[in-house]
Structures are given as structure tokens and as C-alpha cells.
Amino acid sequence: MAKLNQTLEYIGQFLDYSQHRRNHSPATIRTRRCVLTMLANDAEVRFPRKTLLTLDAESIEQLLDRRHLAPKTRDSYLDCLKAFFKWSMRLRYCKVNPMPDTERPQLPPPDPNPLTEDELRRCIDLAPDQRMRLMVLLAAYAGLRVAEIANCQHSWIDLTDSSDPVINVMGKGKRNRTVPLHPKLLNALGEYGLDYRSSALLFTYRGNKISDTTVSRLISDHLRGCGIKGKTGHKLRHRFGTRLYEQTNDIYYVSEMLGHASLQVTLRYVKPKRGERRRSGILLLD
């Protein structure tokens, strides 16, 4: 039990680091806490003489096998363990990092499945109030994540240059980006009552700061109310990435506007019209 308590203390330190140094979202912190605590307890039961931080690759895979996880879930658990062991190695809480030797599941190709234009029109037209309409537009026309919508401040909107209004997004992993404001979004901000000199949050919930979980739930509930099934608010961001790529054919620009750390992540967000792209590409050949 003493070894388990020590491991749980390390997990707590790692979560503090993730939150305050890496600026990870509350949802990520909750997921990591759940996964690591669960696996630390599993290790105590399955391997009484060891701890989570002294397991080898084979033992970690055995722990995950006993959970009968779906491939995507297993992959996310491995990502969580990879970050934890990397941090632990840096602080010398463990002697060997087993993660490079663990086997990753084979995942199917990602399907962005963005909202269609008809679905987006319904989502905007049927919005019950200006707040929901603005949330939808921030995701669909500026590519904001639900956490960024929750944290969005009036002061993020920069109208200094009237010919080039922008939103300065304080993004994930402290990666900030500047996104031009679409006219529809600019009009919605004006109707909502923008005060760009204020650092106040754009959205609150029952008088308090709104959480990313609440934003996600509100948008998802609205989508279902519009008859759009099987899609979440994040698919509005996928729509932004897909349409931007279709208009620019510049994956680097799309990655910048989405605030991604790598192009591999961006490729999960865009769903180009492949038939049209193949034909136009061939016709460009000399």
C-alpha cells in the first residue's frame, strides 16, 4: 500500500505539471487522472511486488489486455502513459521507460465527418438565442475548440484595422494564433454585444465561468435538436478545417489556423473532395 500511495503522489505531481506547466485542458486532466489512477491500482493487484513505474512493456500490455479496450481507447491510454513515463524519467522517479517497446494498436484511417453545409445552415437558423448562434459560428467560421470558446474573452477580438478584423485565440498548449474574422461571425459578435476593451469572458453559465464540458454539451444538445445525429460540436471545427482546405488547398495554412502542433493532426480534420482534387490535379499537368 505504501508503494501505491507513493505512485499516486507522483501521479498528482504529474497532473499539476500537466495543468500549470503544459496548460492542458480540464478534460485532459480528468482523463489522465482516471486512467493513471486506475492502472496504478491494477498494477498493485496484478503485480504486488511492482508499481506502475517499475513495469516493463509486456506487463503494461497485460494490464491493458485485461481491460478489453477498444483500439482507439487503448491508444489514448498509451498516450497517457507515454506522457507520464516521460515526465517521470526526467525527474528520475523511474529508471527505465518501457513505452518505446509497447505495441500500439492499428487504428482505422480517421474520418473527419464534418457538418455538411445544409446541417450548418440548420444549426445557425435554429439557434435558440444569440449565445448559441455565436458559439456555433466561433467553431464553424474560426475553428475554435470548445475549451477556447469557454475561455474566449471580449479582448480577443481585435478591430484595430477595420479592413482586417481578427480574433487572437489563446490556444491549446499555449499555442496562440490569429484568425481573420468572417463577416458572419463579425456581425454575430456585434449583435451579441461585444466590448473589445474588456477582459471579461464572452460566455458565462448561471453567473459563473462556463466550462468546456458545458459548452460541448450545449452545442451537442443543439445539434440533436436540429435533427443532426451522431455529431458533436467538434465537428463544426472539422467543417472549418475541411472548407478552409477546399478553398486554399494549403494544408500548412489550415494547420496554422487550427492551431495544431503537427500536420499529422491536421490531416484528421480535413475531408477534401478527393474525386474533384484528383481530376483538377491531373488537368494541371503539362
* Residue-wise pLDDT tens digits, 92-150: 999 999 999 999 998 877 677 889 999 999 999 999 999 999 999 999 999 999 999 99
pLDDT band at 168; cut points 50, 70, 90? very high
Q: Is 234 a catalytic residue?
A: yes
Mean pLDDT of 22-32: 86
Q: Which of 24, 32, 74, 172 is catalytic?
A: 172
The residue annotated as part of the active site, out of 145, 222, 231, 235, is 145
- CATH 1.10.150.130 boundaries in the chain: 2-101
Q: Indicate if 68 belongs to the active site.
A: no
Phi, psi at 166, each rounded to 5°: -140, 165
pLDDT (average), residues 61-78 = 94
Question: What per-residue confidence (pLDDT) applies to 285?
Answer: 66
Domain 117-273 has CATH 1.10.443.10: yes
Whether 24 sits among the annotated catalytic residues: the reply is no
The one catalytic residue among 24, 133, 243, 260: 260
Options 177, 237, 238, 271, the catalytic residue? 237
Residue 56: pLDDT above 70? yes
Residue 239 — φ and ψ, nearest 5°?
-60, -40
Burial class of residue 5 in the structure, from the number of CB atoms within 10 Å of its CB (0-12 exposed, 13-18 middle, 19+ buried): exposed
| E-strand stretches of the chain | 157-158, 166-170, 176-180, 204-205, 208-209
Longest dimension (CA), the chain: 72
When the pLDDT of each residue in the chain is averaged and rounded to a whole number, the result is 89
Active site residue 182: no
Topology of the domain covering 2-101? DNA polymerase; domain 1 (1.10.150)
SS3 state of residue 236: helix
| Catalytic annotation, pick one of 22, 217, 234, 268 | 234
Rounded distance between C-alpha atoms, residue 84 and residue 11, angstroms: 8
pLDDT of residue 278: 55
Give the residue range(s) of CATH 1.10.443.10 domains in the chain: 117-273
Q: What percent of the chain has pLDDT over 70?
A: 93
- Rounded to whole angstroms, the Cα distance separating 146 from 138 reads 9
Which among 77, 93, 141, 269 is annotated as catalytic?
Answer: 269
Identify whether 172 is a catalytic site residue: yes
pLDDT digits (tens, 9 = 90+) for 220-279: 999 999 999 889 889 999 999 999 998 888 999 999 999 988 888 888 777 766 555 555
Distance CA 80, CA 37 (A): 11
Q: Which of 41-45, 79-83, 121-125, 191-195 has the lowest mean pLDDT?
A: 191-195
Query: What is the model's pLDDT at position 38?
Result: 96
Lowest model confidence (mean pLDDT) among 21-30, 57-66, 120-129, 212-221: 21-30
Chain-centre distance of CA 277, in angstroms? 28
pTM (2 d.p.): 0.70
